[in-house]
Amino acid sequence: MTTRDENTFIATWTEPFGAVWRAIAGAPTGQTPLAASGGSPKSDALADLPKTPFPFAADAVACQRVNGKLHVSFPLGAGEDIYGMGLTYRSLNQLGQAKCLRMGHYSGQEDGRTHAPMPFYISSAGYGVLLNTASRVHTYVGTTHPREAHPPLQDRVHPDWRPIQPGRTVDFYLDAPGVEILVLGGPQMLDVVRRYNLLCGGGCLPPKWGLGFWHRANMNWGEKECLELVDRYREHRLPLSVLGLEPGWHSNCYPTTHDWRTSLFPEPRRFVAALEERGVKVNLWQNPFLHPDCKLGQSLAPYSGSHTGSWGGLVPDLTLPETRRLMQEHFIKEHVAIGVSGYKHDEVDDESWLPPFFATYPSGTSPEEYYSLLGLYMQRLGFEMFRAANRRTYGLVRGSNLGASYLPYALYNDCYDHREYITGLCSSSFGGLLWCPEARTSSQAEEWLRRIQAVCFSPLAMINAWASGEMPWTFPEVAGAVREVISLRQRLIPYLYSAFAEYAFRGIPPVRAMMLEPGFSVSLDVTAGKLHGTDNPYSRPEARDVADQFMFGPSILVAPLFAGQAERRVLLPAGRWFDFYTGAEVFGPWHTIRSNLGPIPLFVKDGGVIPMLAEGDDLQPLTRWRNLEVRHYGEAEGVFSLYDDDGETFAYEQGAWTKLELAVRRNSAGRLHGCVPAPQSHSVNPAPVCTWRLTFQSTATRQGQVGMKSSTAIDRRP
């Protein structure tokens, strides 16, 4: 760090892991997101990442105390784009934006108030910077110009007047006694993201059932209506994996008791067991505003803040181990032990319902820091309870922060703008977050279909009918198309589960913004800015902020349609791409899609290998798959690493998992054929033996002909 004046902090960089540099400025408080999230770095996987040099000149990072606050400044190169800074909804490229990052319910204004305010950015130049702080942080991404280095002065009336060029720094400004700073190497943006995820403990691996379809019941429903709902899904031949209960299940809400409302659920254990018999898990809504008279409220009163939240509820101080212990004890007894599968931790995000900043907490933690960590504490509390029972959980949370990648929760919110939901899917991938773009209700059929289609290509596929009581089949004119996409989601679970395994073990996000995809980068090795003989399309401003398409697993590109949109363009990464449904080649870089209530546009990269549950198997339980259809797209050889384990316990951490390399190769006659080259599996403690029947199908195109060219059946005993 520079020594610019006597207020400058001098710190030295250490390198605790390859291409992860750490410095401490001042004296940080103990309440930081990385400490609160509690993940342990995956050192082996970190060691496998490429090494890179420190991305800045040794003295280029400046850290000073200015006006009593911390100012940390990093160089920004010409032409660099900056992504990340937590969950964003309107744009991915942060260049030119100044914000105050703070925890809050996003309400349509991209000013830094968000469900995951994370001072962590990734540069298109292939490195990342992170401030591990729970304080509010003002961020200035290329927006500041010191007086001595002001931009060229211009006159607005002059024809050559141009908008100001970006400044040469990314600045952070925060009111904190100190801060831990991490710099992460690449060389590619995806490597930075992987490094970050692995540092936080790797990505989460949800149970298999978590990747199936979810439905949140109307809040006034009881046992009878819920069981009827499950029957109706069956009648409609729709898979249902998880039923979510909303506030009505509590004996009082809000404030919340965390005890069952016996008029609706007379015997909770029987209810949960009845659903389990039908292959459906139960997820419980909850928030941290405790009813002062309930059992939990009484025991937690001494561990709660000085002021109540909006609904008169006590807000427990979760930074205290005793608070967490008491909460877990109650949840385990009343919920986990009777078979409940997880939680939706709601309303952990906003100061409008949390107590004021002048409230006090028994631990002495400041409300400002506490509220930005509350969502992390709740996720960790939930995760640890299930982990202790050797059961994996998957749930929802409305507030998160740095360090959450290993915690099995998807974020959501109430804003309900479909486009912003898709941007959220993209932006979440920069910071180890999972995002659930909700479908609750719609004013018309097309919108309902478009929302459910997008939901089915997100980390957690759910209808949130808590207030609407809406069903997948609500709009008869699209009921068939809705069924098709839910069934397709279900069939893609082997592919998606393997993508999650890559997240868990190697830090690769299962759903990714396009900028993380090779072949979509301005830094591609192109000759003089040219690609395929045309101007490099990826260097244009619209490509540097593409937020309405994303990658799903290793080889599927999703380009969702929005209501009222009969056509849209998709920017295909360099290379050849094929239509998922027909196998026909599509030509880019910009490809126009036309659709009239059609399926969600999906494209597969050349050589993409996609294992799917065989047709008709979408209603089977999601425990072990037997018959897999393995599709191959295009003409290039390809390989897919099919991961499998018991799908619900932590035995995989002890090596009880299996991996099969599904390969599609050309034989000596030049024909594509599917094979499983040996050896395929790593197993310290092998997963229970099972047989897969794999049917390879190649969807190749030649002279305009589209069709399945070869098919091989393989029985495999791993």
Name the β-bridge partners of 178.
26
Q: Which of 577, 569, 472, 570 is nearest to 237 (CA)?
A: 472
Contact status, residue 344 vs residue 379, Cβ threshold 8 Å: no
Q: Closest separation between CB of residue 340 and ligand GAL, Å?
A: 16
| CB-nearer residue toward ligand GAL: 249 or 552 | 249
Residue 273: in which H helix or E strand, if any?
A: helix 268-277
Binding site for ligand GAL (CB under 6 A): 246-247, 285, 346-347, 414, 464, 466
Between 217 and 422, name the residue whose CB sits nearer to ligand GAL: 217
Measured CA distances, 596 to 325, 538, 562 (Å): 54, 29, 11
Of residues 168 and 344, the one with the C-beta less far from ligand GAL: 344
User: Are 412 and 399 contacting, i.e. CB atoms less than 8 angstroms apart?
Assistant: no
Query: Distance between CA 356 and CA 367 in Å, rounded?
Result: 8
b/e 278-303 (16+ beta carbons within 10 angstroms → b): ebbbbbbbbbbbbbeebbbbebbeeb
Smallest gap from Cβ 45 to ligand GAL, in A, equals: 35
Closer by beta carbon to ligand GAL, 346 or else 635: 346
Distances (CA, A) of 626 to 16, 613, 675: 44, 8, 17
Q: Give the Cα separation of 526 and 232 in Å (integer).
A: 55
Tell me if 419 sits within 8 A of 562, measured CB to CB. yes
> What string of H, E and C letters represents the secondary structure of 338-385?
HCCCEEEECCCCCCCCCCCCCCCCCCCCCHHHHHHHHHHHHHHHHHHH
468 and 441 Cβ atoms separated by less than 8 Å: yes
Of 346 and 618, the one with the shorter C-beta distance to ligand GAL is 346
By beta-carbon proximity to ligand GAL, the closer residue of 308 and 549 is: 308
* Residue 386 CB, nearest approach to ligand GAL (Å): 21
Q: How far is the CB of 195 from ligand GAL (least distance, A)?
A: 32
- Of all helices (H) and strands (E), which one includes residue 665? strand 657-666
Could you tell me the smallest distance in angstroms from the CB atom of residue 289 to ligand GAL?
Answer: 11
Q: Measured from the CB atom, is 400 or 498 closer to ligand GAL?
A: 400
| Torsion angle, alpha carbons of 552, 502, 398, 250, to 10 | 110
User: In whole angstroms, how close is the CB of 602 to ligand GAL at the nearest point?
Assistant: 28
Nearest approach in angstroms of CB 252 to ligand GAL is 13
Question: Least distance in Å: CB of 220 to ligand GAL?
Answer: 11
Q: Compute the least distance from the CB of residue 285 to ligand GAL, in Å.
A: 5
Q: Which is nearer to ligand GAL, 196 or 466 (CB)?
A: 466
Closest approach of Cβ 21 to ligand GAL, in Å? Answer: 39
Nearer to ligand GAL, 120 or 466 (CB): 466
Map tokens 């991305």 to a residue.
55
CA distances from 93 to 89, 140, 571 (A): 11, 13, 16
Sign of the dihedral through C-alpha 231, 237, 242, 244: negative
Cα–Cα distance for residue pair 407/391, rounded to 1 Å? 14
Q: Which residue's CB is nearer to ligand GAL, number 371 or number 497? A: 371
